[in-house]
Amino acid sequence: MPLLENEAPDDPYQLFSKWFGEAMDAGAPQPDAMTLATSGEEGPSARMVLYKGLQNGAFIFYSNYDSRKGRDLGHDRRAALVFYWSVTRHQVRVYGTVYKLKRELSAQYFATRPRGAQLSALASPQSRVVRSRDVLEKRVLDAAAAHPDEVPMPRAWGGYALRPIWIEFWENRDDRLHDRLRYFQNYKGAWRTERLAP
């Protein structure tokens, strides 16, 4: 079905939520996986992270602040996201500015994570070179022994929010004349749409 300007909602978050729900309903593998692209002193870098919802118009994800992505975002707060759901033939690209969530909000989410994920976050020096997997496993065992009840949230771990400047929706067409609609905010904060050639 063509993605047409006169049929698209005025609010890009409404269309995103619709497509995300369709991907989940269609059985897309890991529909919450998104590519996060950053650029820092070491150059450009991209990796998969997990989308954790929308909050006040921003896309939320969590990570180690001392990781490569954290260092990149400390250098340049601009970043891009890509969602791709092959089963529904949809792609969403997001470009904007990233900021850290307040620590109390990150702590609320951290408390909902499985204990194993909490221990891994505490034990892993993300993006750093380690001698072997055995070293990582021992660090997890040591953390579990040190915190038999409640696992503390690591000092350098927390949430990020990407606030979009624009959001592009791409829908596959068999003739490769794909549909691309980009929403962008004008100086008053209102969303407008424009069509991009495929």
27-32 CB contacts, 8 Å cutoff, 24+ apart: 27/87, 28/85, 28/86, 28/87, 28/88, 31/85
Catalytic residue among 176, 182, 192, 195: 176
Q: What is the CA radius of gyration of the chain?
A: 19
Separation CA 124–CA 138 (nearest Å): 11
Separation CA 102–CA 109 (nearest Å): 11
Is residue 180 part of the annotated active site? The answer reads no
Positions annotated as catalytic residues are 176
